[in-house]
Structure 1
Amino acid sequence: MGSSHTSGKDYRIEVADRRSTVTVFAIHGGAIEPGTEAVAAALAGTDWNLYRFESLLSSAPWRLHLTAAHYDEPGALALAARSRLGVAIHGQRDPGQSVCVGGGNESLRQAVADALSAAGFETEQPCRRLPGRSPANLVNRPKDGGVQLELSADLLRELPAQEDRLGRFCAALRAGVNAAGRNPSR
């Protein structure tokens, strides 16, 4: 974050290590990609690990944006190192109601895309514009890699406010992760 930004004033970090094999990451929460932090918390529930970074800056929040491949905050790296699978929640500018499914674990990507599609969510897999496949990407640092979800602007704006729909989204996503977790090949 650099020495010019202050924790609690400019940004907030939440690290919830629940000794799970799965960690949910939202590294662009708050004013950077609003809603990602809420979706990540709902997905993690009380049993999956959770890492959330939230920009509190009201002006130019993107100054705190780090790409996932350059994200090296110690709490995030520690959770990733202790995890088997990662799930990253991001936002993208595209309109509509789609989820672009990327990440370094191919079987996890497919299982998550299938589960979300079966639950009525529009998916794009593989995610061509934002593939999230770099080994340096935070979500790919757990033992068996991870899946990066890029939620469209409209979906990300609406999902946190629609409790039933958010619950359906999280249940489908968890089902996909659990299905792939039984066979987590990259």
Structure 2
Amino acid sequence: MVDQFNSMTELLLQTSEGTDWEIHTRRASQSMIITAVHGGAIERGTTELAQSISERGNYDFYTFKGVRHNKNHELHVTSRHFDEPKLLQMIDDNRHAISVHGCMGDKPEVYIGGKDQALRKYIKHYLSEINIIVKDAPSHISGLHDDNFVNCCQHKAGVQLELTARLRKNFFINKKYNLYDRENRDNWSPLMADFTQAIIDAVSHYQKERN
């Protein structure tokens, strides 16, 4: 699907904050940022997972959320064109970055991409420990371009995680990810907690190796 907007600059000029979208951020360590730039009802479940990881790991957090009643897919801007100023500043401030995205798929799988091969290795390992299937991302969602924001952190290499719809639904106890289902933390499943901890363990192992 072709994006309706060529950039976030264009989107911000033609849409309204609060009616169409919201931006939420959290500042913490500035060593790692977790993002969900297609959050809210654009790629459902990504905001909640990124929020869970950032809170438990004490990482910086950024999400752009689609909050329309419908047609939130129109608010999708590809990562290579996501020139929203708050995000770019937070990416620039952080040594490392992980971006959480959603993709189609009726099997609970993760497609991993991005230029940080070392962090990818640890994430694959720790997710496999909780029986999550992780595959290398195909070229169209590989996250390998230099101008993908996740690779614009200080390390100049980040990790992009594409989670299938089936996996994202499994993050919620009732297997649904509509607005109330997503934002009701009592509905967040043990799998959400396990996935969160796996990412934190991977980051911790990765950072210890680099120190």
Alignment match, 1:149 = 161
Alignment of 1:131-150 (within 5 A): 131-144=142-155, 145-150=157-162
Corresponding pairs, count:
183
- Change in Cα spacing, 1:93 to 1:56, as seen in structure 2 (3 Å) is same
Alignment match, 1:95 = 106
Contact 2:25/2:61 (CA < 8 Å) preserved in 1?
yes
What one-letter code is carried by the residue in structure 1 that aligns with 2:114?
A: G
Q: Choose 1 or 2 for highest CA Rg.
A: 2
Report how far residue 2 of structure 1 moved. Answer: 3.0
1:38 aligns with 2:48: yes
Alignment match, 1:167 = 193
Report how far residue 58 of structure 1 moved. Answer: 2.0
Q: Is the helix fraction higher in 1 or 2? A: 2
Q: Name segments (4+ residues, structure 1) moved above 6 Å.
A: none
Alignment match, 1:51 = 62
Report how far residue 51 of structure 1 moved. Answer: 0.1
Deviations 1:49-86 (A, max 9, x none): 00011011222212211001110101100110010110
- The percent identity for this pair of structures is 26
Alignment match, 2:37 = 27
Alignment match, 1:5 = 15
Unaligned runs of at least 5 residues, structure 2:
1-10, 174-187
Which of 3, 17, 28 does residue 27 from structure 2 map onto?
17
Alignment match, 2:89 = 78
* TM-score normalised by structure 1 residue count: 0.93
In 1, the alpha carbon distance for the partners of 2:78 and 2:67 equals 18
In 2, the alpha carbon distance for the partners of 1:159 and 1:140 equals 27
Alignment match, 2:123 = 112
Report how far residue 39 of structure 1 moved. Answer: 0.6
* TM-score normalised by structure 2 residue count: 0.82
Unaligned runs of at least 5 residues, structure 1:
none
CA RMSD of aligned residues (A): 1.4
